[in-house]
A and B are shown apart, each in its own frame.
Chain A
C-alpha cells in the first residue's frame, strides 16, 4: 500500500473503507478517494490505453482533464477517474482497449507507428471507392478508436436548472479568487464564488505553502453571509452580457453576474522527450495532489524536473512523503538560488543545473517508468515529477474576448482583456507568487466594485518584483519519436513538423490536419508546445503563432445537464374533465389536448360514424375552446380589420358576422376566422388554433407602424367555445333558459347576439363549419363547464351527442371547407382556393393586396378542388400524394377521408388550373406507386346549395 499517514490526505476519511472493482479485480479505498487515487494507493498506475498506439497510460495531472484518465462506469462513459469519487460496489473498467487493459491486442499498433503518419485519415481513407469512408473505414475506426460506450438502457437521472443572480461572480477559489471574493463581499456586494474542486484553496490546498494563509482566508470568508460558495461546480463557459453556466453535479445554475472575476489559475505543462507518456511520469502538481489530498505516495524513488520554485517545493514534498529523491534536474543554466534550493541541499539532494530529461525507458510492455536519461546517463527511478512552468487557463478569458500574447521575458503566454465587466486575477493574469495573487485578487475586486458604483480606490495591476522565466519547456525531439506533444491524440513532435512541411503553417490548420488539441484536454497540455514547435518549424515567433480559438464548453458536459428537468407543456380546455368523464379518446393537437372521439378504441370507427350522423340528422356538441379569440376595440377597429383582412369590415353592420381571411405581405393565405361586430367600436375575431399566437403578434406589429386607435386583447384562454350544430340545434337552445331569440328570422345565418344562456353570459355566432344549422356559444372559461352541462342535459331528449375532432374534420371535408395549414401551404393564394369572393376589390389597401395582384399577373398554375373516389375503391391515396399531369407533378392531395353521409372517400387536392372544372379527371399517384384516376367535383360534396345551414 502506498498510503501515507495523516495529516496527508485532506479529502479522505480513513475510518470508512470502500470496495470497488477495476477491470474485474477488487480494490479498496477510503471515503473521499477518487478512482485514480484509490487505484494508485493500491499500486495500479495504468488507467487506460492510448488513442492510436494503445500504450499504457496513467495519471498526468490529477485534474481530470486528460483522455488517459477517463474510465468507463456502468452507466457513464468517459468518467474522469481523477475526479470521480469511488462508491461501494462501483464497477470501473478501462477504455480504448482491445481485450483487457493488461493484455491489449492492439498494443502491437505501437510497433507500426510509422504506418500511421500525421494526416493518416486524410491520406488513406479517401479510397478505393467513393463511399469507402462511410462503408468501411469509418465503422472500423470507430470500433478501434472509440472512447467510452453509452449504455442506452441506463436508468434515468434527475437533472435540474436554477437561476442565479449576483453582483460579482468569482470563478476559481484559489488565493486570488478567495481574496477577490472576500474583498467584494466585505464591501457589501452580493458575491458568488465558484470552485470546481470539492474544497476551496486551489494551490493552497495541495501546494507547499503556509497553512495559515488558507485558514486566514477561510475564516474571513465564513463570516460573510453575502458570499455564496459553490464547490464542486464547474463554470463551463462565458456568454454575452456575463451569462455563465455553472454546473454542480446534475444541476445547472444559469448565472447572470454584473461583474465577473476570472481567477482560473494556471495549467502546469508537461515536458516533451522520448517516452514522456509512461505511467510514473506526472506533473509536479499531480504528485502534490496525490500526497496532500489523498495521502498517496506517488512512487518510491523520484527524479524531479524543475524549472520553477514549484518544482523545488514538489521535491521537498516528496521527501516529506518518504520518497527518495535521486536528483533534481533544472534546465535553467543558473537556477534560482534561494531558500528552497538551500533546503534541498541541506537534505542531501543532488541538484543538476543546465540539464534536462532527454528520454525515458519503461518496464516491459512500457507499463511503468524504469529510468530516465539526463546528460547522457541513465538514472533509475519510478517517478518523474515534471514542474517546468505553466500557462494561464485561457479558456474562459478568451471566450470573454481576451487576446492571447506571448511575453518573451517570462517565456509565457499572456492574456489581456478589454476594459469591461470581466476581470482577471491571479495566475491567469500573470502573477507568480501567492502574495501577489492575493493582492491581485483585491485589485480585481476593487475594479469590479468601482464599476458597480462603490466608492473604492482602484489600484493598478501588481507588478511582480522579479521577472524570471516561468515556462522553460524543454522540447527534446527524438528521431525515433514517441516524444508526445498531445497525449489525448498520440501526436508527436514529428507529426507537427510534418504538418508544417505539408503546408499547414497556420495554427488553426495544423489543428485540423493533425487533430492536435481536439481531445478531451482541449490543448490544455499541448497548446504551448504546439505553438513553439510550429514557430520553430516556420521561422516565426510564438506570439505570431498563437493558440486556436477557445469556445464553450470549457470541459465536457452531459446532455442531461443541458436538457434539464423537462415537463411537456400542454394546454387543456376548461371542459377537459367533462371529456374524460365521457370516455373521450384525447389526442394532442399542438399544445392542446382535444377529444378525438367519444368511446373505446375498439369501436373508434363506429363512434366517429355515429357522431357524424348525429350532427347530420340530430344535434351535436363540439368543444371549440382551442380556437383563437381576439377582441379588437377602439374607434379605428373597423379600419384596422380592413387593413389586416381581405374582406370589408369597416362597413360591416353591428350584429353581423363576416368571414375573414388573412394574407401575409407575399399574398399567401396565413389565417382565417370570423369577425363578429359586437358594437361600432368592438369586434370579436376568431383565429385558427395554431395561428392565433402569430396573428396576435402580427396585429400589434402592424399597428406599431399604423398607430390606429385600437386595443387588441387575446381572449383565447379566457373564453371557451361550444358549437351546437345539427338540424335540431335550435330546438335545444330554445329549450334552455335564455334571453336570446334563436328563431330563424330574429337570428339569421351569419349574425351574432349577446345574452345569457342557462345563466351564463354568452356571445353567440351563427356560422356553419359543419354545413348544418350551427350556433357557436362563447363564454368566460370559468363558466364553460356549467354551460356544457346545461346544453348536455337539455339536449338529451333531442338526442344531442358530443362529437370529437375526427368527426369535425370529416364534416367540414364533406362541405369542402378548408383548414389553413392543412389545405394551404406557404404560397397558397385566395384565387387558388377559389376564394375570389372573399377578397375585396374596393378597398385601397390590405396586407398582401399588392402581391396577389402581381401574382395574378404572373398567372395561376393550380387550384384546390374536390376529388371523389368510387365507393369500394381499393386504392385510396393518402394526404400529400402527388397529382400528376402528363407524368409530371402539378399538385397534391391535402385532405382525404371517408364520408359516411356520401358513402365513399372524398379529398381536397391541388390540380392543374386547366383541370379545375367539374367533370375533369386527374391522375393521382398512391402511396404504393399505383396511379388512380379521380373525377373533379364541386367543393361542397354534401348539400352543394348550402340549404341546410340556413334553415
Chain B
C-alpha cells in the first residue's frame, strides 16, 4: 500500500486518505459561458505530467495538496492549502 505524507499527520497508509480531485482553475461563475462552465465541471484533462491534487486525511478531516507524477505515480511533495494561495 502506498504511503502519503500528510503535512499535519506525517506518513500514513493511503487508505486513510480520500482524493478530492485536481486543483482546478478558478472561474468567475458569472463571467463564464455555459459551455465553458460544463467543461469546468465535468471534463478532466488527464494529461501526462505533474498534477496538483486535493487530498483529505479522513480521520482528522484535514485537506491539503499533493503534487503527483501521473506517469510514475510518484508523490513529489505535499503541502498545506495556505501555500497554494500564497503561490497564486
A-side residues, CB < 8 A to B, are 239-241, 243, 254, 256, 665-666, 696-697, 700-701, 704-705, 707, 714, 844-845, 849-851, 854, 857
- Asked if A665 and B56 make an inter-chain contact with CB atoms under 8 angstroms apart, the answer reads no
- Excluding A241-B1, A701-B63, 13 further A-B contacts by CB distance (< 8 Å) are A239-B2, A240-B1, A240-B2, A240-B3, A241-B3, A243-B2, A256-B13, A697-B58, A705-B81, A849-B29, A851-B41, A854-B34, A854-B38
Would you list 15 pairs from A and B whose C-beta atoms are within 8 A, ordered by A residue?
A240-B73, A241-B1, A241-B3, A243-B2, A254-B1, A697-B18, A697-B58, A701-B63, A705-B81, A707-B81, A707-B85, A714-B61, A849-B29, A850-B32, A857-B34
Interface contact B63-A243, CB-CB below 8 Å: no
- Residue of B41, B61, B81, B82 near A696 (CB, 8 A) is B61
Are A850 and B37 in contact, with the CB atoms below 8 A? Answer: yes
Q: Which of chain A's residues have a CB closer than 8 A to the CB of B62?
A: 700
Please report the C-alpha to C-alpha distance between residue A835 and residue B37 in the assembled complex, in whole angstroms: 24
Among residues of A, the one whose C-beta sits closest to the C-beta of B85 is A707
Contacts of B73 in A (CB 8 A): 240
B61 lies within 8 A of A697 (CB): yes
Contact A850 B30, beta carbon cutoff 8 Å: yes
Q: Identify the closest chain A residue to B62 (Cβ).
A: A700
A844–B63 CA distance with the chains assembled, in angstroms: 26
How extensive is the interface on chain B, given as a class?
Answer: 20 to 34
Q: Which of B22-67 contact A (CB under 8 A)?
A: 29-30, 32, 34, 37-38, 41, 54, 56, 58, 61-64
Least CB separation from A853: chain B residue: B29
The binding surface of chain B is classed by DSSP as: mixed
Within 8 A of A (CB), among B63-88: 63-64, 73, 81-82, 85
**A295 vs chain B, min Cβ distance (A):** 43
Report the Cα distance A707→B63, complex, angstroms.
12
| Interfacial chain A residues near B81, Cβ < 8 Å | 704-705, 707
Contacts of A714 on B, CB cut-off 8 Å? 61
Least CB distance, A464 to chain B, in whole angstroms: 34
CA distance A256 to B1 in the complex (A): 9
Are the CB atoms of A845 and B29 closer together than 8 Å? Answer: yes
Asked whether, in the complex, the Cβ of B2 is within 8 Å of the Cβ of A704, the reply is: no
Contact A701 B56, beta carbon cutoff 8 Å: yes
Would A854 and B63 count as touching, CB distance under 8 A?
no
Cβ of B1 and Cβ of A239 under 8 Å apart?
yes
Q: How far is the CA of A254 from the CA of B13 in the complex (A)?
A: 11
- Closest chain A residue, CB of each to CB of B34: A854
Output the nearest chain B residue to A845 by Cβ-Cβ distance.
B29
A241-B1, A696-B61, A845-B29 known; A854 and B56 CB under 8 Å? no
Give the residue name and chain of the B residue nearest to A847 (CB).
Answer: B29
Which chain B positions have C-beta within 8 A of A697? 18, 56, 58, 61
Counting from the closest, the 6 A-B pairs by CB-CB distance are A850-B29, A704-B63, A704-B81, A240-B2, A243-B1, A241-B3
Q: How far is the CB of B63 from chain A (nearest CB, A)?
A: 4
Give CA–CA (A705, B61) in the complex, Å: 14
The CA of A697 and the CA of B38, in the complex, are separated in Å by 24
Cβ distance B73 to chain A, nearest Cβ, rounded Å: 8
Contact of A700 among B34, B63, B85 (CB under 8 A): B63
User: CA–CA, A707 to B81, complex, Å?
Assistant: 9
Q: Is the CB of B37 within 8 A of A851?
A: yes
Distance, CA A530 to CA B55, complexed state (A)? 46
Residues of the B chain whose Cβ atoms lie less than 8 Å from the Cβ of A851? 37, 41
Known: A701-B56, A854-B37. A707 touches B82 (CB 8 A): yes
Report the minimum CB–CB distance from B60 to chain A (whole Å). 10
Find out whether the CB atom of B2 lies under 8 angstroms from the CB atom of A241.
yes
Encoded as 1 (CB less than 8 Å from any A CB) or 0, chain B from 1 to 25 comes to 1110000000001000010100000
Closest to A849 in B: B29
Distance A851 CA – B62 CA, assembled complex (angstroms) = 28
Closest to A844 in B: B30
Q: Which residues of A contact B32 (CB under 8 A)?
A: 850
**A498–chain B nearest beta-carbon distance, Å:** 38
Report Cα–Cα, A256/B15, bound state, in Å. Answer: 14
Q: How far is the CB of A220 from chain B (nearest CB, A)?
A: 33
Separation of A701 and B64 alpha carbons in the complex (Å): 9
Asked if A704 contacts B54 (CB within 8 A), the reply is yes
* Across-interface contacts of B30 in A (CB, < 8 A): 844, 850
Minimal Cβ-Cβ distance residue in B for A239: B1
A243 to B12, CA, bound (A): 12
| B4 to chain A: closest residue by CB | A241
Contact of B41 among A256, A666, A701 (CB under 8 A): A666
How far apart are B81's CB and chain A's nearest CB, in angstroms?
4
Q: Which A residues lie within 8 Å of B54 (CB)? A: 701, 704
- Residues of A within 8 Å of B58, CB to CB, are 697
Q: Closest CB of chain B to A442's CB: distance in Å?
A: 29
B30 nearest CB neighbor, chain A only: A850
Measured in the bound complex, the distance between the Cα atoms of B13 and A849 in whole Å is 37
Find the A residue at minimum CB distance from B80.
A704
CB distance from B26 to the nearest CB of A (A): 8
Which B residues are CB-close (under 8 A) to A254?
Answer: 1
Closest residue of chain B to A244 (Cβ to Cβ) is: B1
Known A241-B3, A850-B30: A700·B37 in contact at CB below 8 Å: no
Q: Are B20 and A701 in contact, CB atoms less than 8 angstroms apart?
A: yes
Q: How far is the CA of A254 from the CA of B15 in the complex (A)?
A: 13
Assembly CA distance A666 to B63 (angstroms): 22
When distances are taken between beta carbons in the complex, the residues of chain A under 8 Å from B63 are: 700-701, 704
Residues of chain B within 8 A of A849, CB atoms compared: 29
A243 to B18, CA, bound (A): 19
How many Å from the CB of B41 to the closest CB on chain A? 6
**B65 to A: closest C-beta gap in Å:** 9
A410: shortest Cβ distance to chain B, in Å? 32
Task: Name the B residues within 8 Å of A844 (CB-CB).
Answer: 30
For A666, what are the chain B residues with a Cβ–Cβ distance below 8 Å?
41
Please name all residues of chain A whose beta carbon is closer than 8 Å to the beta carbon of B61 when the two chains form the complex: 696-697, 700, 714
Q: Give complex CA distance A849, B30 in Å.
A: 10
Q: Which of A254, A704, A714, A854 has the most CB of B within 10 A?
A: A704
Nearest-neighbour CB distance to chain A for B7, whole angstroms, equals 12
Q: In the bound complex, how far is the Cα of B18 from the Cα of A209, in angstroms?
A: 53
| A706–B3 alpha-carbon span in the complex (Å) | 28
Q: Give the distance to chain B from A704, nearest Cβ to Cβ, in Å.
A: 4
- Across-interface contacts of A696 in B (CB, < 8 A): 61
Question: Which residue of chain B has the shortest Cβ distance to A703 in the bound complex?
Answer: B63
Docked complex Cα distance between A844 and B34 (Å) = 17
Q: What's the nearest-Cβ distance from chain B to residue A81, in Å?
A: 34
Chain B: minimal CB distance from A688 (Å): 18
A312 to B25, CA, bound (A): 71
What is the bound-complex CA distance between A844 and B28, given in angstroms?
11
Write the nearest CB–CB distance from B44 to chain A, whole angstroms.
14
Q: Which of B56, B58, B62 has the most CB of A within 10 A?
A: B56
CB-CB under 8 A from A665, the residues of chain B are 41
- Taking the closest CB of chain A, its distance from the CB of B13, in whole angstroms, is 8
Chain A positions within 8 Å of B29 at CB level: 845, 849-850
How far, in angstroms, from A849 to B32 measured CA to CA in the complex?
A: 13
Of all chain B residues, the one with the shortest Cβ separation from A858 is B34
Q: Which partner residue on chain B sits nearest A714 by CB separation?
A: B61
For B38, the chain A residues whose CB sits under 8 A away are: 854
Which residues does chain B contribute within 8 Å of A241, judged by CB atoms?
1-3
Complex Cα gap A851–B37 (Å): 8
Q: Nearest-CB distance from B20 to chain A (Å)?
A: 6
Residues of A with C-beta under 8 A to B82: 707
A697 to B18, CA, bound (A): 10
Assembly CA distance A700 to B32 (angstroms)? 26
Query: In chain B, what residue has the closest Cβ to A696?
Result: B61
- A665 nearest CB neighbor, chain B only: B41
B1 CB contacts on chain A under 8 angstroms: 239-241, 243, 254
Nearest residue (CB) in A for B61 is: A700
Chain B residues within 8 Å of A700, by CB: 56, 61-63
CA distance A241 to B4 in the complex (A): 10
Distance from A244 Cβ to chain B, minimum over Cβ atoms (Å): 10
- For A243, what are the chain B residues with a Cβ–Cβ distance below 8 Å? 1-2, 13
List of B residues within 8 angstroms of A850 by Cβ: 29-30, 32, 37
Q: Which residues of A have CB within 8 Å of B64? A: 704
Q: Which of A239, A243, A254 has the most CB of B within 10 A?
A: A243
